[in-house]
Structure 1
Amino acid sequence: MITSSPFGTYDGKEVIQYTLKNSQGTEIQILNFGGIIKTILVPDKNGKMEDICLGYDDMKGYETNPFYLGTLCGRFANRIANASFIIDGKTYELDKNDGQNSLHGGKGGFHKKVWTPEIDGDVLKLTYVSPDGEDKFPGELKVTLCYQLTDDNELVMQYSATTSAKTVINLTNHAYFNLAGQGAENIFDHDVTIKADQYTPQDSTYIPTGAIESVEGTPFDLRTAKNIGQMIPRVPGNVGYAHNYCFGTTGDKKFMARVEHPASGRYLEVYSTEPGLVFYTSYYLNETGKGGAKYQKYGAFCLEAAHYPDSPNKPNFPSTLLDPSETYQQTTSYKFGVM
């Protein structure tokens, strides 16, 4: 079941909150502003419902939203080195909104757009047409994102896009989770499993070096469940995890990761057709969120299924180039449950 209610306005356009409910009592709220996942209410092992998704109570928070809480990121999620890339010999210069790099599509980005909504049964469909040259990317890009909450407590997100000219595209959702509840202090009591044999090493500005290396014998080996609080101090750089894991293939929906919270019994699993998954443990988080909750460093985790960061400048990475003859497609889902 999907219901809707007014949430505010942005740039003179109406922002609507959509509530998706299933037979299990799970409730997910999504905005047509930035495709934002605002609320995820799921039960614990005792049946107590808790909101496990960080966010804001009103539009004022989402208008700034410096940490991209819950947003759809695009045209290009994550970073592009030196805010530039080349297609057919032509260099495209983007906004430098993360030092010398471009992050999550630049200053405008899909997270700042009001999307056109449509309800089709139990599916919420959002569409947006990004004009040629918007945020300095080539091609008119027509994007559709469908959200569906199944009775198995799985939030399925299906993305598709077409372009009028060769361009690059990389889309993801940037939800921040704390399975103890969105106001809990940290995620040190969570356990994580990421079923990837390889990852992409990166420099101090989070740009991949271009290498693809084995996780074997490193703090990035999360192939069996590890306690997040114990693992964070082992990660080089003293900022925790903000790393891309490699799954190699695009097209087949596969199990990528699972995070468990033993105290509440909740778990979250991620499945995706994408070749990469960024695991981020919120080192930079510092914000006041829903209900006055204080979101702090290590207060949440993100699992962002996408292509690898800086793929347009790394020929050995899976390609993010989209041709007018092609259709970009991605399916990613968050599955919630109780251990």
Structure 2
Amino acid sequence: MYQLENANGVSMRFMNYGAAVIAIEIPDFRGKMDNIILSLPTLQDYTKAKTYLGATIGRVAGRIRGGEWTFPLEKNEGENHCHGGTIGFESRFWDGEPFQEETRVGVRFTYHSPAFENGYPGNLTATVCHSLDYENNWRITYTATTDATTLFNPTNHVYFNLAANKENTIHNHTLMIQSDAYLPLTAEHLPTGAIKNVQNSPFDLRTATPLQTILASSHRDIQQSQGLNHPFILNKRQHPDAILTHPGTGRQVRITTTAPAVIAYTGNHFNQDFTLSTSQKVTRYAGIALEAQQLPDAIHHPNFGNIILQPDQPFYSETTYQFSLK
């Protein structure tokens, strides 16, 4: 396990399994420290439960229709491929190396993915660097190289609950996303191919909106997914790209990313199927994941962006979560 701390009392813990973040402790407006992410009690709990909590996802985050590209990929969710396969990046042990610089401390994780692991061509070396600076910025950088044409679209699957799960759900949080358009989904959680304007819909989050309002919406796309599970195309007109706030504690997370999209997922499938580090059974809407990445299933939609990685084009992406009080 690796622990990062700064002079403001912010503390983060990471583990080699999944290159995952397993705790983030920050103060509320009274100075009370709490873990603001969903975590499990032990390493064994992470290895036996497919929760993705705090983990690095890859080689490709999200779903790939039909589990195929030029090469067939593992079909691990019905007829589709999801989050890199049954044993994706989240279920691998990464090599970790802590480091310290003038303004930040961090840990650099590296994983060598052999050719055709879960069907992906190319020997791929992926590096995920987590760092914490003195301005309470948690920065994740992703880099990767391959020796053959392959696919790559990583993200991190941390679930936030800024109330430290004391309210059991995220209903009393507000969410802002700088997005003019979102992707509607099929019943299999795949993009339909359409790109919809958020105007006059519960997906218009360009101003802070209570999650309770969104989750109670009768909109077809919300009802079908039983909440948010949708990609938002970032408009990149101003930063941060997204803000999650819990007014009751004053805690806030401000997200800025080089990625073109954020997938907002409100834990719709949670059903008391595992126990959190707080000794509580996880409930629906216990946390929200805000996954910065390329659009899902982009390989089947030319207008969704490029997730093909070539040997002569190293991958780089960066996402920053800034912790603050409002």
Instruction: Please report the TM-score for the alignment, with normalisation by the length of structure 1.
Output: 0.90
Q: 2:41 aligns with which of 39, 57, 76?
A: 57
Match of 1:143 among 126, 138, 147: 126
Contact 2:168–2:286, Cα closer than 8 Å, also in 1: yes
RMSD: 1.5
Distance 1:81 1:203 in 2: 11
Measure the CA separation in 2 of the matches of 1:189 and 1:150: 28
- 1:222-261 equivalence runs, <5 A: 222-234=205-217, 235-237=222-224, 239-247=226-234, 254-261=239-246
- Residue 30 of structure 2 aligns to a residue whose secondary structure is coil
Match for residue 160 of structure 2? 177
SS at match of 1:134: coil
Aligned to 1:80: 64
Question: What is the Cα deviation at residue 64 of structure 1?
Answer: 2.2
Task: Identify the match of residue 88 of structure 2 among 109, 121, 129.
Answer: 109
CA drift of 1:110 comes to 0.4
Instruction: Kindly provide the amino acid, as one letter, of the partner of residue 37 in structure 1.
Output: V
Pairing partner for 2:17 from 7, 29, 33: 33
Report the CA distance between 1:248 and its aligned residue: 6.2
Structure 1 residue 253, shift from structure 2 partner: 10
Find the aligned partners of 1:51 and 1:201 in 2 and give their Cα distance.
Answer: 33
CA-CA distance at 1:218 after TM superposition: 1.2
**CA distance 1:262–1:189, shift in 2 (3 Å):** same
Say whether residues 1:119 and 2:98 are aligned partners: yes
CA contact (8 A) 1:127 1:142 kept: yes
Maintained 8 Å contact 1:165/1:323: yes
- Aligned equivalents of 1:33, 1:253: Cα separation in 2: 35
Q: How does 1:1-339 map to 2 (within 5 A)?
A: 17-86=1-70, 92-121=71-100, 122-182=105-165, 184-234=167-217, 235-237=222-224, 239-247=226-234, 254-286=239-271, 287-339=274-326
Structure 1 residue 247: Cα displacement: 2.0
Render the CA deviation track for 1:129-167: whole Å, top value 9, x for unaligned: 101111110001011111110111110001100010001
Verify the 8 A CA contact 1:253 1:331 in the aligned structure 2. no
Matched residues in 1 for 2:166 and 2:291: separation? 21
Structure 1 residue 207: deviation in Å?
0.7
Question: CA contact under 8 A between 2:122 and 2:146: conserved in structure 1?
Answer: yes
Aligned AA (1:73): I
Secondary structure of 1:294 counterpart: coil
- Residues 253 and 167 of structure 1: is their aligned pair in 2 closer, same or farther, counting only changes over 3 Å? farther
Residue 12 (structure 1) aligns with: none
Asked whether the equivalents of residues 40 and 52 of structure 1 are also in contact (C-alpha less than 8 Å), the reply is yes
User: 1:202, CA displacement in angstroms?
Assistant: 1.4
Secondary structure at the counterpart of residue 223 of structure 2: coil
Structure 2 distance, partners of 1:253, 1:326, is 28
- Deviation string 1:309-333 (CA, Å, 9 cap, x unpaired) is 1011111111000111101100011
Spell out, residue by residue over 1:202-247, the C-alpha distance to the aligned partner (whole angstroms, 9 max, x if none). 1111111112221111111111111101111212326000000012
Shift of 1:201: 1.4
C-alpha distance in 1 between matches for 2:235 and 2:177:
14
**Consecutive unaligned residues in structure 1, runs of 5 or more:** 1-16, 87-91
How many residues are treated as equivalent by the alignment? 316
Q: Is the partner of 1:50 in helix, strand or coil? A: strand
Is the 8 Å Cα contact of residues 143 and 161 (structure 1) preserved in structure 2? Answer: yes
Distance in 2 of aligned mates of 1:253 and 1:104: 29
- 1:16-63 C-alpha deviation (Å, 9 max, x unpaired): x10000010000001111011100000000000000111112111110
Distance 1:231 1:291, change over 3 A: closer
Q: Percent identity?
A: 34
- Which stretch shifts more, 96-105 or 275-284? 96-105
Contact 2:309–2:315 (8 Å) recurs in 1:
yes
What is the alpha-carbon distance in structure 2 between the residues aligned to residue 291 and residue 264 of structure 1?
18
Q: Secondary structure at the match of 2:303?
A: coil
Residues 177 and 234 of structure 2 are in contact (CA less than 8 Å); yes or no, is this contact kept in structure 1?
A: no
AA of the residue aligned to 1:278: I
Distance 2:244 2:148 in 1: 39
CA spacing shift, 1:253–1:31, aligned 2, 3 Å: farther
Q: Which structure has more strand as a fraction of its residues?
A: 1
Which amino acid counterpart does residue 214 of structure 1 have in structure 2? Answer: N
Q: Check whether the contact 1:194–1:258 (CA below 8 A) recurs between aligned residues.
A: yes
CA contact (8 A) 1:253 1:271 kept: no
